[in-house]
Every structure is written in structure tokens, then in C-alpha cells.
Structure 1
Amino acid sequence: MTLLSRILILSVAVSGGAHAEKELPNFAFGLGYGLLDQKSLMNIDFKVNIPINEYFSTQVLLNSNYLITGSSKDSFAQSELSLNWFIRNDYGRLGVGLGVSELEPMDENLETKKEAIGQFIGEVFLGAFSATANYLTTDKTLSNITSSRIGLSYYLDEDLRTSLYREKYNDAEMGWRLETYYQPQKYRQMGSIGVIARTGEDYDYAGVVFEYYFDYAVSLRQREKQFH
């Protein structure tokens, strides 16, 4: 993962000096575990949101996935590192991103694969609802954070969201994704838990995600409206 680490450090260094005076950078760390077609899948995600001004922001996103099958021949680690740029207001957000995807088999005899990736993101905020469209150029993604999808979210309250997406997993493989996230106010709104279920011919998945935020006293709805 040396290449991805270098790009992450460079991206933060380039963008770090450009944040707005009133909005500070927002950091989030996520850890997930679930079963993908009866195989263990672990996710480790790190996200840095850097506001530039009232209408523009950047984001560094590093997603790591570990598929553990019990055999080194089909077990692998996949990482996606991207730098995204957004134009935003109170009613929505448009974003584009560039990055690299790295697929590293656990079998040392197999070759590590790398490819450039592009990402296009659109969101519209409609009261308690939000509509999302996301397109990722890579053919294969296992992450809980990034994938090609279109869907609708509903906020039952400021710290409870449920979402339904039509999602692309691998090549032409399509399926449905249902997720619910809850952010307790008890701990100064510094963390959330998500429950995710996905269906697909070879990509049935059920799991949980824990996210920790390096800020506090921000509702889940406001957090996701400000940051993707």
C-alpha cells in the first residue's frame, strides 16, 4: 500500500492550506465488518473534508477492504484512494474525483493490479429527503463508502437516516442496498453506527459500520449535508 500512502500524504499537504476560516477540516474514521456471500469482509475507511469557502470544498478519501475466504488464492486486499472536489449550497452538491484503485491478492504469486479511477457525485437535499447519484469508473468495488449507485435517503430525525440505493458491484452486477445510520447524542455526536444489507446474485452482504468523527455537537443530517 506504499503508493496509496504517498498519494494520501501529498493530497492532504496540497489541500490543507486552503480551508476556510470559519469551517475547519472534518476528519472521519470508519471500521466495518460483514459477510459478503458468506465470506468475511472488513472495511477500514478514512476521510478528510476540507472546506475552501462557502461554496467549494475538497475531500481526501481512503477506503481499504479485506476479503477473507480461508484461502490465499481468492483472498485479497483492495484500496481506493481519491481526491474529490465539490461545489455546494444549501440545496445540493456536485462533485468530481480522481484517484487510484489497488487490488493486492493474498497469494504472493499473483500480481497486484492498479488502475486510475474517476468519480462523479450529485446530491439534492429536499427537506427530510436527499437524492444521491454516484458513478465510479472502476469495474469492481467492495467498499461501503464508494460505489456506483442511485437512491433516496430519509431522515427520521436529525440523527437517524435510512437509505435505499440501486447499486453496481462488479462489472454488470447490480443489486439493492438498504442501510440505516444512527448517531447517538449521548456521546456529543462524535460517532455513528450503520447497518447495511445488500442483495446481488454473487454479492449478498450484511454487516455493520462504526464511524468516529474528530469533531462534536454536529447532527448526522447536518454533517452529511456539509460533507459527503
Structure 2
Amino acid sequence: MNVLSRFFLSSLLLSGVVQAKDTAPDADNAPNFVFGLGYGLLNQKSLLNIDFKVNIPISEHFSTQVLLNSNYLITGSSQDSFAQSELSSNWFLHNEYGRLGLGIGVSELEPMDDELEGQRDVIGQFIGEAFMGAFSLTTNYISTDTTLSNITSSRMGLSYYINEDLRTSLYREKYNVDEIGWRFETHFQPKKYHQMVSVGVIARTGQDFDYLGMVVQYYFDHAASLKQREREFH
């Protein structure tokens, strides 16, 4: 995890330096911190997901993001239980019509069994989104072969905002090596929590990785609709 920690700190430092040079210190340009906690069943096995994300506006059309994503597959046996962490630094060009992003990071997989060898890979990422009123078209490519995350996986699909704080999405997803499945998710952000907490339900079906779970995200910033928040930040 030393590599992940160093990458995380250096990405935050670089993003902060660029922001300090290129932006004025106002509320609209303040960093957006997000903490996410998810739990579900992956083929009837417990999968815990913990995310920490920092979105930093640099200018009107340019922003950066640091994402730390950790998954823990708990099977009851140390031989097939493991922890997977992905740490990436992503950079975006965006306007009112869409977003294009590139990222680089490190992925580590650590088996719970100390006798088994872990894996570490450098990962690349491409993100593309088009905004069309209440609809969003999304494509997201991750170079790593194995990902169990609730957020970072290769996918292509369509989202629809039923209202400003309720979104439903359908994706065709590559979730493990060359296996393909479908993913359906719905996210809701209640107004009574000052629009700073969202709750999501995620269902995924595929050959070997059926999944059903929930995710809760807390935003350390200010009140904003889910649609505004997700289109301003990825």
C-alpha cells in the first residue's frame, strides 16, 4: 500500500498547486470531497466497498480528480477472500454539453491468505460523457482486467434524471477479464439532508458475477442537486 499512499499524496499536491495558480478562491471553485460506503452480495458472497474522492476545479472548463477505491470480498475462507484497491488521478475537460477525461493510477490485489502472492498493475482510464437535457450518455474504459468496484469499471450506457435528485441508469459493463454483463442502478438524493447525502441501489448480472447492493455517499461541500453535482464532477 506504500505505492498507493505516495501516489495519492502526490496527486493531491499536484492538483492543489495547479488550482492555486489557475483559480480564484471562491465557493464555486472549492474542492468537492466525497466519501462512499457500499455493501452487497457478489454471487452470495459479501462485498464491501469504500471510496474517497476529491474533485478539484482548476478553471471553468478544466478540473482534476483523485479517487481511492477499495473493495473487500469476504467469503469465509482466506483462500478466496481478498482486498482490491485502486488509486487514480483523473483530468477532465468539460462544458455544458459533456466531459472528456483521462486518468492513470495503480491497482493492487491482496489475498487474505498470506501464502498467496498479490498483484499490482498500472491502470489507464478514459471517460467520456454527453449531456442531453435529462439524459446522459456515458463511456468509461479501464485498462485493468479485473475490477469488482461499484464505481470504476469499463462500461457504456445511458442515464436518465427523473428529477433533479433522482437518476436511473443502464450500462453494458465489462466487469472481469472478457466477461460482459448488464448493470442497473438508481440514485436518490433527499432534500431533507441538505442535498449532501445520496443513496443508490445497484444490480448487476453476468456469467459469474451477479451482484446486488447499496451505496451511500456523503458530500463535504454545499447543497446542490444530484444532477448538478454529477455533471459538475464525475
Q: TM-score, normalised by structure 2?
A: 0.96
Q: Which moved more, 1:85-94 or 1:12-21?
A: 12-21
Residue 16 of structure 1 corresponds to which residue in structure 2? 16
Residue 49 of structure 1 corresponds to which residue in structure 2? 55
Residue 2 of structure 1 corresponds to which residue in structure 2? 2
- The answer to whether the 8 A contact 1:18-1:51 is kept is no
Task: From the two aligned structures, give the one with the greater helix fraction.
Answer: 2
Shift of 1:112: 1.5
Letter in 2 for 1:180: T
Distance 1:47 1:17 in 2: 18
Shift of 1:136: 0.4
Q: Report the count of equivalent residues.
A: 228
Shift of 1:217: 1.2
Residue 37 of structure 2 corresponds to which residue in structure 1? 31
Mapping 1:157-172, distance limit 5 Å? 157-172=163-178
Distance 1:155 1:47 in 2: 23
Mapping 1:30-179, distance limit 5 Å? 30-179=36-185
Q: Which runs of 5+ in 1 are unaligned?
A: none
Distance 1:227 1:89 in 2: 11
Distance 1:201 1:70 in 2: 22
Distance 1:6 1:69 in 2: 30
Letter in 1 for 2:109: L
What secondary structure does 1:52 align onto?
strand
Distance 2:17 2:164 in 1: 31
Q: Which moved more, 1:9-18 or 1:52-61?
A: 9-18
Work out whether 1:195 is the aligned partner of 2:201.
yes
Distance 1:187 1:193 in 2: 11
Distance 1:177 1:56 in 2: 29
Distance 2:128 2:56 in 1: 18
Q: Which moved more, 1:158-167 or 1:9-18?
A: 9-18
2:213 to 207, 214, 219: 207
- Report Cα offsets for 1:181-217 as digits up to 9, x if no partner: 0001101111100000000011000000000000121
Letter in 1 for 2:78: S
Superposition CA RMSD, Å: 0.7
Distance 2:140 2:13 in 1: 26
What secondary structure does 2:161 align onto?
strand
Distance 1:183 1:82 in 2: 26
